Chains A and B, each alone.
Chain A
Amino acid sequence: MTRPMPRRRSAVPATLTLVLGVLLLSACAPNAASTDTAVAVRSTADECELSSTEAPSGTVVFDVTNDGTDATEFYVYAADGTTIIAEVENVGPGITRQVVVEAAAGDYVTACKPGMTGDGIRATFTVTD
């Protein structure tokens, strides 16, 4: 009964390769630059204020600040209101996190989700040519 167990020495290299592979394959997005359009978002328990509801096409940077007491999330949906274009979770009270979107012209839907649940406080966001 001294049957040797199968060897699995390759577990670590395999995992590392996987992690690095995923990192390399995944697309990067540029952080805020001076040519970008910055939109400040203020999320509270019952409000989702955007400094602008319009932006020219290109890189739009949403700076999401949580002024409430619950953790919040911010979503940018396509015009259908279900396809997620970008989102950020875990925006704790007093914290500002960025959502960067490469936006083509068209309508979008933004949503703050105080309490990290539900459909959120939604509004239409327009990207012009």
Chain B
Amino acid sequence: MLANFLIGLREGLEAALVVGILVAYLVRTDRRALLRQVWFGVGLAAGVSIGVGALLTLGPQGLSFEAQEIIGGVLSIAAVGLITWMIFWMGKTARYLKGNLENALENAIAVGKGAIIAMALLAVGREGLETALFLWAGITSAGSSLAPIAGASLGIATAVALGWLIFKGAVRLNLRVFFQWTGVFLIIVAGGVLAYGIHDLQEAGVLPGLDNLAFDASAAVPPGSVHGTILKGVFNFSAQTTVLQAVAWFAYVVPVMWLFVRMAFHSGPPAPRSSQVPSQAPSQVPATEPQRDLAAADA
């Protein structure tokens, strides 16, 4: 039961956190109308995954191993692109909010609409097929025991609950701190998704170097343990990381982090450090601070 719970938790955690942050962002910037797009993307990804999973499990055709790995790898790398875009989009929108540029803000929303669906779709769909195949295997084994499917479902439910908690926490942060730290967090998450995608493509034989390990920490971080599950679920930390994965992780995280920190931490007054700082950090042009967009943390 515990092992199945941990698989469900791991598969659902990252998607739940990314969607939680996306929803928090939309609520904070008073764009609740766009939540419909989020739930549409989430629903579509879940529905397609479960449907395709059912076809592959119960139908005459299964998915070849290579195909499944290539789907996982390509979707992961596409997800990295969208998460990166989301990070800088959030940062950029913060600037528009500060400058009270209504026109530009409207454009930013128009840009966001389709991409928000894609964002939610990929965040959930990336691991969706593997999760659906795992769940269908649990359902087809339910004849002998309900424990596996119950454990897996509880794990996914726990991931969703943690995504909700992240949302509740994020709407309490002040806007500047929210943009800064969710950005930093999402960059680490995206680096892990990239490394995961690379590993899938290595397993499929599309990329070389599957056995060329950068390090092996499986003694300290067993994949089946609770801390291994959380590290894997949130940051896609792999105890046995290949050299190519490590290189890709650093090649992504270092420049993106540098660009983001320069943008979000250095383009204004220093970040507030303690709780003594007022709830809204002073802007470079305080007189033009828009009131309507600083959504109250009342959700």
B256-280, CB < 8 A from A: none
A31 / chain B contacts, CB cutoff of 8 Å: 56, 59-62
- The chain A residue with its CB closest to the CB of B225 is A115
Q: Does B203 contact A (CB under 8 A)?
A: yes
> CB-defined interface of A8-40 with B at 8 Å, one 1/0 digit per residue?
111110110011001100111111010000000
- The chain A residue with its CB closest to the CB of B44 is A16
B239 / chain A contacts, CB cutoff of 8 Å: 117
Contact between B4 and A71 (Cβ–Cβ < 8 Å)? yes
- What band does the interface of chain B fall in when counting residues whose beta carbon is under 8 Å from A? 35 or more
Contact between A115 and B223 (Cβ–Cβ < 8 Å)? yes
Minimal beta-carbon separation of B206 from chain A (angstroms): 12
Contact between B210 and A82 (Cβ–Cβ < 8 Å)? yes
Chain B contact residues, CB within 8 Å of chain A: 1-4, 6-7, 11, 52, 56, 59-68, 70-71, 74-75, 78, 82, 92, 99, 101, 103-104, 107-108, 110-111, 114-115, 117-118, 121-122, 125, 130, 133-134, 137-138, 140-141, 144-145, 147-148, 151-152, 203, 205, 210-211, 218, 222-224, 239-240
Nearest 10 CB-CB pairs, A to B? A26-B67, A92-B4, A86-B65, A29-B64, A117-B218, A11-B115, A94-B148, A12-B114, A15-B118, A116-B223
Chain A contact residues, CB within 8 Å of chain B: 1-12, 14-15, 18-19, 22-23, 26-31, 33, 69-71, 82-87, 89-100, 115-118
